[in-house]
Chain A
């Protein structure tokens, strides 16, 4: 399956940004066309319409995206998920939806997503560890699902819970964190059109190490907010407690918006290294809200983001 992507090309074969930016080489065009061809082939697999929210930056290779993951359920090392996630059972899969909703219940994944149009969202992805990638997700707005189950007026937050299955997840078995992994969003963040539930990437069903079969993607927040392999979505009236907040409340806040002005207590968030450039992966300035400020900055009007980190 993954051989389909084995065109003999490496990320290093794709024209570096500095070249195509200054139009130095015709190769730039060739590489761009190559990327489009890949995307085209992808659409043949999972029908997904392009989105105006997509970045035009070149996505990372499938190899980068599926070989460099923080998914502590499978271990601390970034190569652990690719190594250990293969045995994860993802069918059947159901998601429990409860709390302040009109139609709570245990939904089979297919029923949950039936009839919702899939889109390709090529998003920048910024990890709290100061590295970043560009990932061509396939998914749909979380709002579409929330509308389907009916959000009650008292709901102020959405809580997410990831799968914790010790016999298939060595990191869960080893107790690396306080499982299950929990995350949360404020309701307006959850309803923002940028917030998606992703079920695939690069035109394929979601690889297990990236959070199959369904995961959250919130592109203006640090990656740990985008919980993987979701089994429960709860609408609540109180701010849910998240896994990382529980571990290090001073380091990981509820909001976790990408923000170069608010450093992690242990490291700077002013810049990030773009994964995929090999030995000379370029370090670039981090942009507030990961560059999605035009869509989300208004959500935080009047909030002190240094305090609400």
Chain B
């Protein structure tokens, strides 16, 4: 593990961003090779959403990986989170521009009336303050405890994003349910740790 950590120390933030840009670059490449299928808009839209969700899950895995496997990736969590926000934003933008094609009346109606769109939109809104406070300065300004509390929003955002995915399918499909189950398990693990810690911190009563 020490060798892994020694290797990871050489990884710079820009490298993480470069790695994270690959799915987007591949999509752009596929536009030019005509490899996006018969409905390229849906392919792009779904892929961007999928990558955003995967990055959110990756971000949620950082702490369990450290506690359970001793692998410390905490240095990269910010980049992963920012990338998740970028992909979610692109997903949303493609929906507005290429899918709904700026039909604002329909977009507005969808954003308040359609449960799965409302939920996806809420998940996106939750990511906004997280992206805005993804700097050391923000941690200093808010104080580490308040900042951490704010960033707990990652959990509801990820759950909502997965529900958004489950709900848009016409029938029950395996993949979205797998994401939802995984995120729920990660959340349950955190809550369980918290409860144990809380218990340990409470002085035993006679």
Contact = CB atoms under 8 A, between A and B. Distances in A.
A76 B171 contact: yes
**Which of A129, A177, A279 is the most central at the interface, judged by chain B CB atoms within 10 Å of its CB?**
A279
Interface in A29-79: 63-64, 67-68, 72, 76, 78-79
Contact of B38 (A76, A78, A270): A78
Interface in A71-95: 72, 76, 78-79
A279 B41 contact: yes
A270 B34 CA distance: 29
B171 A275 contact: no
Nearest to A129: B170
B38 A271 contact: no
B116 A266 contact: yes
A281 B43 CA distance: 13
Q: How large is the interface on A (under 10, 10 to 19, 20 to 34, 35 or more residues)?
A: 20 to 34
Nearest to B173: A76
B37 interface: yes
A281 B39 contact: yes
Contact of A279 (B31, B103, B114, B170): B31
Given A76-B171, A280-B98, A283-B100, A266 B115 contact: yes
A249 to B, nearest CB: 14
Given A68-B39, A76-B173, A131-B39, A268 B106 contact: yes
B168 interface: yes
Contacts of B103: 271, 283
B109 interface: yes
Contacts of B41: 273, 279, 281
Interface in A174-202: 176-177
Interface in B39-97: 39-41, 44
Interface string A143-178: 000000000000000000000000000000000110
B171 A72 contact: yes
A67 B43 CA distance: 14
Interface in A265-291: 265-268, 270-271, 273, 275-276, 278-283
Given A67-B38, A68-B39, A266 B167 contact: yes
A247 interface: yes
A177 B37 contact: no
Nearest to A76: B173
Nearest to A177: B171
A131 B37 CA distance: 15
A268 B109 contact: yes
Contacts of A270: 106
B179 to A, nearest CB: 15
Given A63-B38, A268-B110, A273 B115 contact: no
Contacts of B39: 68, 78, 131, 273, 275, 281
B39 to A, nearest CB: 6
A267 B114 contact: yes
B106 A271 contact: yes
**Which of A67, A129, A270, A281 is the most central at the interface, judged by chain B CB atoms within 10 Å of its CB?**
A281
A270 B110 CA distance: 11
**Which of B31, B39, B171 is the most central at the interface, judged by chain A CB atoms within 10 Å of its CB?**
B39
Contacts of B34: 10
A79 B36 CA distance: 11
B98 A176 contact: no
A64 B173 CA distance: 24
Given A68-B38, A72-B171, A273 B99 contact: yes
A97 to B, nearest CB: 29
Interface string A109-144: 000000000000000000001010000000000000
B171 A176 contact: yes
A266 to B, nearest CB: 6
B40 A278 contact: yes
B114 A268 contact: yes
Q: Which 10 A-B pairs have the closest CB atoms?
A: A68-B38, A283-B101, A279-B40, A67-B38, A64-B38, A268-B106, A266-B116, A76-B173, A270-B106, A267-B114
Given A67-B37, A68-B37, A279-B41, 5 more contacts: A76-B169, A247-B171, A267-B117, A278-B40, A280-B98
28 contacts: A63-B38, A64-B38, A68-B39, A76-B169, A76-B173, A78-B38, A78-B39, A79-B37, A176-B171, A177-B171, A266-B114, A266-B167, A266-B168, A267-B117, A268-B106, A268-B109, A270-B106, A271-B103, A273-B41, A275-B38, A275-B39, A278-B40, A279-B44, A280-B98, A281-B41, A283-B99, A283-B101, A283-B103
